[in-house]
Amino acid sequence: MGLIIKNIRGLVQVESDPRKYAAGKGMSFLPVVENAWLLIIGNCIESFGKMDEYSLDETNHETIDAAGRFVFPSYCDSHTHLVYAGSREIEYTDKIRGLSYEEIARRGGGILNSAKLLGETSEDDLFDQSMVRVNEIIGMGTGAVEIKSGYGLTVESEIKMLRVIKRIGESSPLEVKATFLGAHSLPEEFRDNRGKYVDIVINEMIPAVASDDLAEYIDVFCDKGFFTVDETEKILMAGLKYGLTPKIHANELDFSGGIQAGIKYGALSVDHLEFTGDAEINALLESETMPTLLPGAALFLGMVDPPARRMIDAGLPVALASDYNPGSSPSGNMKLIMSLGCIKLKMLPEEVINAVTINGAYAMGLADTHGSIARGKTANLFITREIPSYQFMPYAFGSDLVEMVILNGEVVE
Ligand code: NIG
Ligand code: FE
């Protein structure tokens, strides 16, 4: 017994020969089969084709008629911090009044504010609060998500966060990847002894994370006012010894050297990249590292936009992610992220769709199983409402256009 979706107006991001990622001119290539059918068996995509060659025996399968609708592979959101306690709308007001992100952080707000709240929140409560966000993003079309720690900043609280992330992976239909981000911000008590905190990250946190197998990736906020290149390199090196692959925050606030540091240690992705020039672009061109842009954070903080157009025109791939977090991007809406990619970053609809599917999947090590409609890949997809074209998705930036969500071959919404 399988699941057939038929009369699909457009089956988007269909691959017979799956790509590792889309780069440069290839980012504007989006394979779409019009008037299509799709067959799912178990949790995998079995086959697809055009309706004029449709010959499946429907008696053996459940059938959904998707007339007038498009089918997209689920979004792969490769950068989030969606496990957190409470919220930070007070700082939002401070920002409206003119304080910068760094000023708020210096006054003990920002990440440290979330860390304080998280320390006071039980693991079960943290899980329940986070599951609200998980269910929200499932309903908006996300099928795979990377989630970072980094609001713990003590061994105990970082482990608590990572245990919650693991539990989300076990109890929701989302594919979840966990990243250890102990070096997200320097706790107040280490202000005059930075080396001590870096020591704790390296000698206490990383071994604890690895011994319980709680993360696959390691992140550092390598930027002005946060962690230096030297500190970042030490932490990444220590992580690599324990099998943690780098995936770092870089060049959000300045030309921090973070992009080059990430590449040097084989980062799967470097993320944010508002401050990216020729040297960074050239370094990325020589690497297999996915440049990942977070236009929700740039919008929310009123930052300069990263030079997406220059990057793609130079031949680079680009992934887009939500950065869902309480301080700089309190939204996991990947459809809105696509719209921001088009409106703010001047990316084409085809480019943003590649950026949130196949390139997002690569940026979290899931390109073989997620990010496109291909035989044998996990059946994670959504059916839209009736829309005139796939370009309508990023164009209608305020409308909810996801009608049905299918994850692991099962209808979940
Ligand atoms: O990706 N830039 C660093 N970390 C988060 C913000 C976290 C926060 O402000 O809580 C980000 O934007
Ligand atoms: Fe982030």
The 10s digit of each residue's pLDDT in 215-254 is 999 999 999 999 999 999 999 999 999 999 999 999 999 9
DSSP 290-346: EEEE-HHHHHHHTPPPP-HHHHHHTT---EE----BTTTB----HHHHHHHHHHTT-
pLDDT of residue 103: 86
The crossing angle, in degrees rounded to 10, of helices 155-171 and 110-119 is 80
Map residue 157 onto helix, strand or coil: helix
Centre of ligand 1 to C-alpha 36, Å, is 41
Q: Of 112, 251, 323, 324, which is best to mutate to test ligand 1, by the most ligand atoms within 8 angstroms of its C-beta?
A: 323
CA distances to 49, 62, 245, 314 from 257, in Å: 47, 53, 19, 20
Position in ligand 1 atom list of the atom nearest CA 110? 9
The rounded Å distance from CA 80 to ligand 2 centre is 6
Ligand 1: nearest atom to the Cα of 111? 10
Query: In which residue are the tokens 């099998």 written?
Result: 243
Ligand 2 center to 199 CA (angstroms): 23
Pocket of ligand 1 (CB under 6 A): 81, 110-111, 114, 221, 249, 252, 297, 323, 325-328
Output the pLDDT for position 105: 79
The pairing of beta strand 175-183 with beta strand 217-222:
parallel
* Smallest-distance ligand from the CA of 247: 2
Ligand 2 centroid from CA 230, angstroms:
20
Query: What averages of pLDDT result for each successive group of 10 residues across the chain (413 residues)?
Result: 96 95 98 98 97 92 97 98 95 89 81 94 98 98 98 98 98 98 95 97 98 97 96 98 98 95 98 97 98 96 94 98 96 98 98 98 98 98 98 98 98 92
> Residue holding tokens 């709308």?
89
What's the confidence (pLDDT) of residue 101? 78
Q: Where are the beta strands (DSSP E) in 42-170?
A: 44-50, 61-65, 69-73, 75-80, 142-148
Predicted pLDDT at 16: 92
> How far is Cα 82 from Cα 84, in angstroms, rounded to an integer?
6
Q: What is the pLDDT of residue 106?
A: 79
pLDDT at 90: 86
Centre of ligand 2 to C-alpha 111, Å, is 11
Which pLDDT does position 102 carry in this prediction?
81
Indicate which atom in ligand 1 lies nearest the CA of residue 301: 12
Supply the pLDDT for residue 104.
Answer: 85
